[in-house]
């Protein structure tokens, strides 16, 4: 057993290639739970916490680039302007202690259907940068999640960053759980209005084997908004559009009965979240968001 602690990104990639048995660790809030209790004993850890710069974000004109080790606490503090749905999602993660350590890279590494970053990354059409000694790949968030805790990340790759288009109109994220703190979501939903492209984006968590988008709901709302010239005229959106949108969001889910909730309740909750997210976003848009 070894604790590998690279001091540079290049060294991290080299160690990843040379030690396939070593499990990467960033904030440890997912991995350590498994190691402490489940007796999960990886042969080695590849500790990314000493690689400089991974916790930072930068402004790339139309985009922001978020480093994989950026914590929820930092995303709440810094990303409310350019990535409001992600900042909102970060605010609801775990507890202050978990937000101080848990990272976006770790959330992607685990790729749990309940991970709170995913709906926001889907709704904003983010891109995930991954790299190995073989080279770099840019993976659309919408293609990243393959199955429960399975993603496009190859065994020799590391998550290098997340590229998120800057918000040009309101975004929302909401989740339902048993209480405010420390719950795994029963259902979550993110909505992003992309005013510049005049289209919307959605993301659903905890309602299928992977985080998913609500494609039919997106197409429906895009068409309604275009037909009624709502983007230009900034008119109130009829209630029936909200309700149809919510219904279509629910059809994208494939929830299960489990200890936290029944599938029927998950569907119901998701419909309510989708309805409200659209109402909140559109109301803010009419108020002249930026």
Partner 1 sequence: MNVTLTVNGEPRTAEGVRVHENLLHLLRARLGLTGAKNACEQGECGSCTVRMDGRAVCACLVPAGQAEGADIRTVEGLAGEDRLSATQACFLRAGAVQCGFCTPGLLMSLGELLDEDPDPGEDVVRERIAGNLCRCTGYQKIVEAARLAASRPPGA
Q: Using CB under 6 A, which residues numbered 152 to 171 contact ligand FAD?
A: 158-159
How many residues at the interface with ligand FAD, by CB under 6 A? 28
Q: Collapse the DSSP code of 114 into the 3-class scheme (helix H, G, I; strand E, B; otherwise coil) and give the result.
A: coil
- Look up residue 218 and give its DSSP letter: H
Question: Measuring CA to CA, how many Å separate 208 from each of 12, 147, 148, 189, 203?
Answer: 33, 9, 9, 12, 11
Q: Collapse the DSSP code of 269 into the 3-class scheme (helix H, G, I; strand E, B; otherwise coil) and give the result.
A: helix
Q: Which is nearer to ligand FAD, 25 or 250 (CB)?
A: 25
Q: Is position 51 an interface residue for ligand FAD (rule: CB under 6 A)?
A: no
Report what 205 binds from ligand FAD, partner 1, none; CB cut-off 5-8 Å by kind: none
Binding partner 1 (rule: CB under 8 A), the pick from 12, 13, 25, 207 is 25
Report what 187 binds from ligand FAD, partner 1, none; CB cut-off 5-8 Å by kind: none
Binding partner 1 (rule: CB under 8 A), the pick from 7, 10, 18, 33 is 33
Cα(178)–Cα(185) distance, integer angstroms = 8
Q: Residue 59: enclosing H or E segment and its boundaries?
A: strand 57-60
Enumerate the H helices of the chain as residue ranges.
Answer: 9-18, 31-37, 72-78, 84-91, 96-101, 104-110, 117-123, 141-144, 215-227, 230-233, 239-251, 263-286
Q: Is position 96 an interface residue for partner 1 (rule: CB under 8 A)?
A: yes
Q: Is position 30 an interface residue for ligand FAD (rule: CB under 6 A)?
A: yes
Which residues contact partner 1 (rule: CB under 8 A)?
1-3, 5, 25, 27-29, 31-33, 35-37, 41-42, 44-45, 47, 49, 73, 94-98, 100-101, 180-182
Which residues contact ligand FAD (rule: CB under 6 A)?
23-31, 33, 48, 68, 93-94, 98, 101-103, 105-107, 109-110, 115-116, 158-159, 182
């Amino acid at each position: 057993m070894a604790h590998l602690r690279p001091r540079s990104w290049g060294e991290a990639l080299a160690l990843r290639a040379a030690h396939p048995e070593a499990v990467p660790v960033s904030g440890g809030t997912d991995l350590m739970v498994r190691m402490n209790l489940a007796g999960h004993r990886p042969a080695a850890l590849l500790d990314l916490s000493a690689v400089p710069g991974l916790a930072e974000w930068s402004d790339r004109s139309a985009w922001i680039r978020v480093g994989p080790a950026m914590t929820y606490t930092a995303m709440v503090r810094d990303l409310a302007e350019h990535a409001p749905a992600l900042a909102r999602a970060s605010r609801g993660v775990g507890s202050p202690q978990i937000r101080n350590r848990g990272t976006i890279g770790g959330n992607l590494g685990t790729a749990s259907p309940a991970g709170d970053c995913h709906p926001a990354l889907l709704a904003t059409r983010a891109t995930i940068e991954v790299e190995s000694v073989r080279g770099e790949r840019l993976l659309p968030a919408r293609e990243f999640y393959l199955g429960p805790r399975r993603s496009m990340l190859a065994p020799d790759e590391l998550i290098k960053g997340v590229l998120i288009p800057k918000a040009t109109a309101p975004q929302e994220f909401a989740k339902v759980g048993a209480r405010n703190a420390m719950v795994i979501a029963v259902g979550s939903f993110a909505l992003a209005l992309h005013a510049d492209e005049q289209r919307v984006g959605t993301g659903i968590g905890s309602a299928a084997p992977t985080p998913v988008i609500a494609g039919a709901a997106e197409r429906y709302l895009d068409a309604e908004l275009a037909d009624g010239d709502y983007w230009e005229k900034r008119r109130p959106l009829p209630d029936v559009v909200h309700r149809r949108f919510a219904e279509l969001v629910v059809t994208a889910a494939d929830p299960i009965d489990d200890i936290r909730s029944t599938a029927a309740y998950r569907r119901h909750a998701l419909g309510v979240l989708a309805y409200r997210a659209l109402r909140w976003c559109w109301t803010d848009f009419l108020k002249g968001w930026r």
